[in-house]
Amino acid sequence: MTISEKSELVDNLSTHYARLNYLKILAEEKNGSPDAIAQIERSKTRLKTEIDTLLKDLYANWMGDAAQLKRRVDSSNQGLNRCIADIERDIHVAQKIVEALGYVDDVINLAEDLLKR
Q: pLDDT for 68-101, tens place per residue?
A: 777 888 899 899 999 999 999 998 999 999 999 9
- C-alpha closest to that of 20 among 49, 38, 41, 50: 41
The whole-number pLDDT of residue 25 equals: 95
The pTM (predicted TM-score) of the whole model is: 0.62
Provide the sign of the torsion angle of the four alpha carbons 75, 79, 84, 89, taken in this order.
Answer: positive
The whole-number pLDDT of residue 3 equals: 67
| Mean pLDDT computed over 48-77 | 75
The whole-number pLDDT of residue 10 equals: 83
Q: Where are the domains of the chain?
A: 3-116
Contact indicator for 115, 54 with CB cutoff of 8 Å: yes
